[in-house]
Structure 1
């Protein structure tokens, strides 16, 4: 079953990370992705640019309103995702527990809907 692990970073925690710390987390994240690939459960993963690059589109009454910035003001922001294919929810939680970026906020785990 497919699960999406969304990585959510707490800006207060992230602000305290040194450049060396970011480099280490990046290396750990890439190594973890490779480990998931070796296990055959990795489908995709991407990191996102900072919240200052976000744009939000709202469509109301056929009109689109585009605003700069993320959907909601929050001290936590979406930083990326890992898409996995594992046996069950418990296996998905095991993957999420070991995502290095989880130390900077949280990982939300949700099953992907199957329309077939």
Structure 2
């Protein structure tokens, strides 16, 4: 089953975990066949939020919500169950500086 591990960091710890450490962890996951995708994100000042209401598109600078921790990146993993995904998430290096949100990926329901 696919799980998305969302990495959240506050501004103070945004660069606390070196890229090389994250890349090494991702390589280990890839070699085990469990990594489907992983990417870091630029800081939130580069974000644009898009909303469509009543057919009108509105753009906002920054993320949708103001929070202390910001989405810093993600790991899309193949895990046997939630407990396995949590084990993987707890080993993600930035977990030492922020938090990792683990969410199952669902398939789109395509109505015929």
Matching of residue 9 in structure 1 with residue 9 in structure 2: yes
Alpha-carbon displacement from aligned partner over 1:60-83 (angstroms, at most 9, x marks no partner): 111011011111111110001000
**RMSD of aligned residue pairs (Cα, Å):** 1.6
What is the match of residue 70 of structure 1?
63
Alpha-carbon displacement from aligned partner over 1:9-52 (angstroms, at most 9, x marks no partner): 1224x16x6xxx55xx2111101001101111000001000111
**How many pairs does the alignment contain?**
109
Q: Which whole-Å CA distance do the structure 2 matches of 1:103 and 1:51 have between them?
A: 20
Displaced runs of 4+ in structure 1, greater than 4 A?
none
Structure 1: state its 5+ residue gaps: none
**TM-score, normalised via structure 2 length:** 0.90
Q: Which whole-Å CA distance do the structure 2 matches of 1:109 and 1:69 have between them?
A: 23
Q: Which whole-Å CA distance do the structure 2 matches of 1:53 and 1:115 have between them?
A: 29
Higher helix share: 1
- Structure 1 segment 20-59 matched on structure 2, within 5 A: 21-22=16-17, 25-59=18-52
Q: Which whole-Å CA distance do the structure 2 matches of 1:115 and 1:52 have between them?
A: 31
> Residue 40 of structure 1 aligns to a residue in which SS?
coil
